[in-house]
Structure 1
């Protein structure tokens, strides 16, 4: 669960969430993504970024108002 302050949804907070999601995706699927990127001639960092953004939708958010 991700706890957010409703008054603080600025760019810095969004980048922190993407960074946390990247680490999560890399931990879970890093080797698979590297193989996929190599097999399909894709840049690994771009693929990781896309998957991290998709992963954000799987989190449960709690907003403190």
Structure 2
């Protein structure tokens, strides 16, 4: 098995995983993030992106070769 982190993946794979992570974060915390964004006058997409990136580093990527 080969263990990789997010930075070791190609750009296309990183983007696909980022999109999946955004969907995951939005389904779990979407309303809370929207409320936080409104209260703090921050763009929702910016917060969603930052939380999605944080979420990516919680994943473990294992490849069987």
TM-score (norm 2): 0.82
* Stretches of 4+ aligned residues off by more than 3 angstroms: none
Q: Structure 2 unaligned segments of length 5 or more: list them.
A: none
2:62 is aligned to 62
Displacement of 1:48 in angstroms is 0.1
Comparing 14-23 with 54-63, greater Cα deviation is found at 54-63
SS in 1 for 2:41: coil
How many Å apart are 1:60 and its aligned residue?
A: 2.1
Residues 1-20 of structure 1 aligned to structure 2 (within 5 Å):
9-20=9-20
Q: CA RMSD in A?
A: 1.4
Quote how far apart the aligned CAs of 1:59 are: 1.3
Give the corresponding residue for 2:47: 47
Normalising to structure 1: TM-score of the pair? 0.82
